[in-house]
Structure 1
Amino acid sequence: MRKNVVVIGGGIIGLATAWELTRRGERVTVLEKEDHWAAHQTGHNSNVVHAGLYYKPGSFKARMSVAGNRSIVDFARENGVGVEVCGKLVVATSDAELPALAVLAERAEANGVPAKLIGADEARDYEPEVACVSALRVESTGIIDFPGVCRALVRLLEEAGADLRLGTPALGIRSRNSKVEVATGTEVLRADALVNCAGLHSDRIARLAGLTPKARIVPFRGEYYELREDRRHLVRGLIYPVPDASLPFLGVHLTRMLDGSVHAGPNAVLALRREGYRWGDISPTDLAEVARFPGIWRLAKKYAYPIGLDEVRRSFSKKRFAHSLAKLVPAVQPEDIVRHGSGVRAQALLPDGSMVDDFLIETAPNQVHVLNAPSPAATSALEIAKHVADQV
C-alpha cells in the first residue's frame, strides 16, 4: 500500500528525501515555512562537493559523503545543474602540520577517497600562489550549484504529483490512531509517516512531535569574504588548510565558484538567533534557550578562550581575516577582499558540551527525525534520503 508521508523542511535534505520517497511510490507532502526553497543552510553554504576526506572511517559521514560525491554529481549532470569536479589542495604551511597531513592522507585511503601527497613544487603546479611545504591533492572534490539541485528536485517532484507547500509551517504534531497529524494553521494533515528535515529547527520539530532528542541545535554563523575581481587569478581551484583535530571546524579556506568568483571563509561564531546571518540578527527567545542549555557552557569552557575570542575578532577585522588567508596564499592582502555574506550551521550539541560528530537520525513510531546534518550533508543528500526512506 502507498503511504502518505509529510516531510517538514524544504532544503536539500527534505527535497531529496521527498524525491526518494516519491520514486518508491509514496504520496508525499512537503511543508516549508519560508516562501522559497533552500532558504537557509542549503542556500547559504560554500557549494562544495566534499570527497569524504575528513570523516571517521565507517561513520555515516564517511560512507554517505563518498557515495554522495558520486550521486550528487551524476544527478546534477543528468538534470542540467552546474557542477565541476575540479579537485582541491589541503596544504601544510609548516613542518609542524606534516604529521596531521599524513593522518589525513591515511584517512582518505581508508575512506576510498582518491588523494595523494605531493611536494611544494607540484602543489604550485596546481596553485602557483600557494604557500606550503607539502599538500594533499584530492581529485574528487568539486563545486556545484546546490540551490540549482533543489530547483531540479522541485521540478521532478511537481512532475510526479507531489504536494509542495511553501509558506506552510508545522505548528502542531501528534500521533493518533496509528497516524501522524500535522497542524499547519489552516488545516490538519493526516499521514502514515512524518519525516523531520527542518535543519535549524529540527530539534524543536522533534519536541513538537513528542520526542526528547538527545541533542540540541546550536546555531553557528560562518562569514565569507570574496576576492576582488582583479585578484581572482590568485586562486585557481580550492585551497584548504590542514584542520586542527582538536577543533570542530575546518578553518578558513579559498574556493573558486562556478561563476569564477573566489570565496574566502568561513569563520565560526555563535549566531544570536537560529537564522542569524548578521550580528544584528538577535532573538531573545533563541538566546535564552541556548543560555539554559548546559552543553553551551561546557563548550564555551573548552573553546571560548582563545579560540572563540579569535573567531569573534576575525569577524570584526578584515585585516585578521586576510591574515588567515595569507597563510595559504601570501599575496592576499586586506584590500583584496570584500564582504560576501554568511551562512548559519545547525550544529547538534550534547549536554556534556560535545558536538555531535556524525549525522544523527532518531526514530519514533511513524516518525523519522534528521537531527544533525551539517556539512557534508548537502553532498550526501541523495544518500541520506535513501537511508531515511528505508527508515520510513
Structure 2
Amino acid sequence: MPKRHAVVVGAGIGGLTAAVALHRRGWHVTVCERAAEAPTTGAGIGLAPNALRALDAIGVDAALAAGSAVATTMGVRRSSGQWLTRTDTADMAARYGMPPIAVPRPALTAALAAALPPEAVRYGTAVTAVDDAPGHPIIRTAVGPDLDADLVVAADGIHSPLRRAFFPAHPGLHYVGETAWRALVDAPDLRIPAMSETWGRGERFGVTPLSDGRLYLYATAVVPAGTRSADPRAELRDRFGSWHDPIPALLDRVALLDPADVLHNDLYDLAAPLPRLHHGRIAWLGDAAHAMAPNLGQGGCQAIEDAVVLAHLLPGGDSPAGSDGSDPVPAALGAYTAARRDRTDAVRVRARRFGRLGALRNPLAVAARDLAVRATPARLALRGMDDLFNGFRLPS
C-alpha cells in the first residue's frame, strides 16, 4: 500500500515542524516553498516550554539542534533603565520543568529541514492554487507538474493566499497599530545576560541573547500603517538613542549593518477567528490559521503546537482505511480544529490585549501601567503564564 502523501505549503517553522512530524508518522511529505532558497538571515525566535515540549514529542531537541544558551533573567524595564518586573530563568525552569531558549530562526529552520529526506523541501516552488477535490487535493505550482496529495497543510504565512481562497468572507488581517524593527547583532563585549523589554510611551525595545552568542533586537512604535523612513538604522537611533544602557551601544552595532538586515514590518493579527482550521483535506496552521501579535512570544510556539497536534491526530502514513473502508483523514482534521481553534484564538486575543499595555502613550496611563506592573509580585506574574507554558497537550 503506497504511503499517504502530504503537501506542506510553506517552509517556515510551522510548516517544517508539520513536515517532520508527518514524516515520522510514516507519511511521504513534500514541502513547497516560494522562496528560492533557505533563509540565512533574519530574526530570532523564543521557544517557550510549551513549544519545547511539543518538539520533544516528535523527537526534536531544539537545544541540541540550535544551541542551548539561556538568559539568566527576564523582565520589563522603563526607558530610564529601572526594572518594573524581573524573573530569574531558574525560577521558570523550576516551575515548568525547563527554561525558555531563544535561537536564530535560520538555525531552527535548517535543523528541521535536515530532519527530512533531502528531496522533501522544494525551494522556488510557489503554490498557485489548490483544488480540494474529494479524496485527493490537486496542488498547482508555478513550476513543474501538479501534485496529488491526501492532505494539504497550509502553512503559507500571515497573508495566506489559501486562507483567502477558502474563507473569502473572513475579514482578514487587523493592523494592531504598531510597526516593528528586528535585527541580529554581535556584541559579546557587552556581556548582556538578561532578556529584557523596555517600555516607553508608545514605543518598546527588546533585547534577547541567542543561543549562538548574538543578540536579537526588536523595537516597536505606534505609527500609521505603511510609515517608513529612508534609513531604519537612523530612525532607531532617533527613537531609542537616549534610552538606558546598553541600548545606545547596541544601536551602534545596528548602524554597522546593511540596511537590508534591519527587518521592518507593520504588525497585524487576524481580525477574527477562522470558522474552522480545516476545509476538506486542507489544514491551516501557524500565522495562516491564527496570526497573532508578537507580544507574548507565542506565534511560533503555537505554530509548533499546531503541527505536532495535527500529525498526532492523523492516521499513520501507511495505516489502512477504516473497517468500513472509510478514510480517517477527514475526521482527524475535524478533531484538529476542535483541539486547536479555541486555544489559539485565546492566545491571539491575549496577545492583542497585552500589546495595548506596551503601546500606551498617555502619560497618566503609562504611569498607572508601570505602577501596576511594579506592584505585581514576580511569582504571581509567572503564575499567570501557566496556561501558556503548561497548555500543550496531545489529544487522547
**Which TM bucket (shorter chain)?**
0.5 to 0.7
- 2:234 pairs with 1:318: no
Question: How far is the alpha carbon of 1:318 from its aligned partner?
Answer: 1.1
Counterparts of residues 356-371 of structure 1 (less than 5 Å)? 362-370=277-285, 371=289
Deviation digits for residues 14-73 of structure 1, max 9, x if unmatched?
01101111111111111000112357xxx533333335xxxxxxxxxxxx4474587799
1:376 matched residue in structure 2? 298
SS of the residue 2:137 aligns to:
strand
SS of the residue 1:267 aligns to:
strand
- 2:219 pairs with 1:266: yes
- 2:157 pairs with 1:199: yes
1:11 matched residue in structure 2? 12
Contact in 1 for aligned 2:199/2:205 (Cα 8 Å) = no
Contact in 1 for aligned 2:78/2:84 (Cα 8 Å) = yes
Deviation digits for residues 291-335 of structure 1, max 9, x if unmatched?
xxxxxxxxxxxxxxxxxxxxx9x9825132223x42xx4784697
How does the TM-score come out when normalised to structure 2? Answer: 0.60
2:108 matched residue in structure 1? 149
Contact in 1 for aligned 2:103/2:212 (Cα 8 Å) = no
Could you tell me which of 86, 108, 120 is aligned with 1:135? 86
Alpha-carbon distance change, 176 to 222 in structure 1, aligned in 2, over 3 angstroms: same
Counterparts of residues 237-386 of structure 1 (less than 5 Å)? 237-241=194-198, 251-268=204-221, 272=226, 316-323=235-242, 325-326=243-244, 329=245, 332=248, 336-339=252-255, 340=257, 341-342=262-263, 344=265, 347-350=268-271, 362-370=277-285, 371-374=289-292, 375-386=297-308
Contact in 1 for aligned 2:35/2:125 (Cα 8 Å) = yes
| AA partner of residue 386 (structure 1) | V
Alpha-carbon distance change, 200 to 271 in structure 1, aligned in 2, over 3 angstroms: farther
Alpha-carbon distance change, 72 to 130 in structure 1, aligned in 2, over 3 angstroms: farther
| AA partner of residue 140 (structure 2) | A
Alpha-carbon distance change, 187 to 231 in structure 1, aligned in 2, over 3 angstroms: same
C-alpha separation in 2, matches of 1:243 and 1:141: 25
| AA partner of residue 298 (structure 2) | P
- 2:190 pairs with 1:232: yes
Contact in 1 for aligned 2:182/2:216 (Cα 8 Å) = yes
SS of the residue 2:18 aligns to:
helix
Contact in 2 for aligned 1:72/1:380 (Cα 8 Å) = no
C-alpha separation in 1, matches of 2:134 and 2:250: 62
| AA partner of residue 76 (structure 1) | A
Deviation digits for residues 262-294 of structure 1, max 9, x if unmatched?
34322256775xxx9x7579xxxxxxxxxxxxx
| AA partner of residue 10 (structure 1) | A
1:223 matched residue in structure 2? 181
Contact in 2 for aligned 1:319/1:334 (Cα 8 Å) = no
1:84 matched residue in structure 2? 69
Alpha-carbon distance change, 387 to 331 in structure 1, aligned in 2, over 3 angstroms: closer
1:292 matched residue in structure 2? none
| AA partner of residue 42 (structure 2) | H
Counterparts of residues 65-84 of structure 1 (less than 5 Å)? 65=51, 67-68=53-54, 75-78=61-64, 80-84=65-69
Question: How far is the alpha carbon of 1:135 from its aligned partner?
Answer: 2.3
C-alpha separation in 2, matches of 1:257 and 1:130: 21
C-alpha separation in 2, matches of 1:230 and 1:156: 31
Question: How far is the alpha carbon of 1:84 from its aligned partner?
Answer: 1.6
Contact in 2 for aligned 1:45/1:343 (Cα 8 Å) = no
1:46 matched residue in structure 2? 44
Alpha-carbon distance change, 166 to 256 in structure 1, aligned in 2, over 3 angstroms: same
C-alpha separation in 2, matches of 1:373 and 1:20: 22
Contact in 1 for aligned 2:240/2:248 (Cα 8 Å) = no
Ranges in structure 2 where 5+ consecutive residues have no aligned partner? 91-98, 314-331, 334-396
Question: Over the residues paired in the alignment, what is the CA RMSD in angstroms?
Answer: 4.1
Ranges in structure 1 where 5+ consecutive residues have no aligned partner? 52-63, 95-128, 282-311
C-alpha separation in 1, matches of 2:196 and 2:109: 26
SS of the residue 1:200 aligns to:
coil
Question: How far is the alpha carbon of 1:7 from its aligned partner?
Answer: 0.6
2:366 matched residue in structure 1? none
How does the TM-score come out when normalised to structure 1? Answer: 0.60
| AA partner of residue 66 (structure 2) | V
2:95 matched residue in structure 1? none
C-alpha separation in 2, matches of 1:243 and 1:49: 26
C-alpha separation in 2, matches of 1:168 and 1:240: 38
SS of the residue 2:121 aligns to:
strand
C-alpha separation in 1, matches of 2:55 and 2:23: 22
User: Percent of aligned positions with the same letter in both sequences?
Assistant: 20
SS of the residue 1:37 aligns to:
coil
C-alpha separation in 2, matches of 1:226 and 1:163: 29
